[in-house]
Amino acid sequence: MTKRIDGKAAALDVRRKVAEGVALFRDRIGRAPGLAVVLVGDDPASTVYVGSKGKATLEAGMESFTHRLPTETTQDELLQLVERLNDDPKVDGILVQLPLPDQIDEDAVLDAIDPAKDVDGFHILNAGKLAVGQQALVPCTPYGCLHLLKNELGDLSGKHALVIGRSNIVGKPMAQLLLAENATVTIAHSRTRDLPALARDADIVVAAVGRAEMVKGDWIKPGATVIDVGINRLPPEEGKTKGKLVGDVAYDEAADKAGAITPVPGGVGPMTIAMLLRNTLIAAHQREGLEAPAL
């Protein structure tokens, strides 16, 4: 019988451990770790995400600093705010919510964040350290995926992992994390030939391609572990105002073949915020010259 991987339960466990670490940090240093989140514009999904992140930060006992800027904010204005946050001793982590308005160069903003406060793990210095196997702040979503995989499978050595998607946010760092766990990794993308055949040979499939239910059930090797990073809204059915949320994997089909699979929603999503809190706690320890807790 296929196991449904409960991302909510795993995230709650991580958040509990982070909260314990925050309390110890406060007792030792005399302050709580601080996370600054910057939102430019009024994108509805981004607004919801920022609200969730702020709530989770406070629940963990951290300081939350939310900066909401108008859509017409210039790149220079945003860079000035980032610089102030870099210099603020109360701020251990900085997250600039993506996407940004068209007039702002995302790469320039991400590269302006102090790498020691880059809790999204997107700065080129952290990306480079991850690529060569050095200690770094790691992007939250792929690290959450790795946590779920290790919870489910334990040792990943020698397993064949297929990562579908090559973004800097998920696909590439996911592959690097799996390589560091001694998995054999294949990265697939829109120009990959015979993707179903590659999937059928994989012990682990991580789908992060952004196409609703692209990965079909007959692509899955019997007993494989499937991590679905995608979140897509289908067109609404007749009489309804909103369509169903689905992942990049056709869940019902894949669940007939997989040994374990994440649902959408309730799988990878909750882990992203949990790992953001984890990264903020790690960054706070490193900035204070303390040994970071194992999380």
Q: What is the model's pLDDT at position 259?
A: 98
Q: What is the model's pLDDT at position 237?
A: 82
Fold of 29-115: Rossmann fold (3.40.50)
Active site residue: 17, 92, 97, 118, which one? 97
Sheet holding 204-207, edge to edge: 3-4, 260-261, 225-228, 204-207, 160-164, 184-188
Q: What is the model's pLDDT at position 27?
A: 97
Fold of 140-270: Rossmann fold (3.40.50)
What is the rounded CA–CA span in Å between residue 8 and residue 143?
15
How large is the C-alpha radius of gyration of the chain?
19
For CATH 3.40.50.720, list the domain ranges present in the chain: 140-270
Q: What is the model's pLDDT at position 238?
A: 78
80 φ, ψ (degrees, to nearest 5):
-65, -40
- The alpha-helical segments, DSSP class H, found in 137-228 are 140-153, 171-180, 195-200
Q: What is the model's pLDDT at position 295?
A: 85
Q: What is the model's pLDDT at position 288?
A: 97
Let me know if 221 is a catalytic residue: no
Let me know if 13 is a catalytic residue: no
Let me know if 194 is a catalytic residue: no
In which residue ranges of the chain is pLDDT below 70? none
- Cβ proximity of 182 and 157 under 8 Å: yes
Of 14, 257, 46, residue with least CA distance to 140: 14
Active site residue: 92, 114, 118, 120, which one? 120
Q: What is the model's pLDDT at position 287?
A: 96
For CATH 3.40.50.10860, list the domain ranges present in the chain: 29-115
pTM: predicted TM-score of the whole model, two decimal places: 0.95
- Cβ proximity of 207 and 215 under 8 Å: yes
Active site residue: 53, 117, 159, 221, which one? 53
Residue identified by tokens 């953001």 is: 276
Which DSSP letter does residue 115 get?
Answer: G
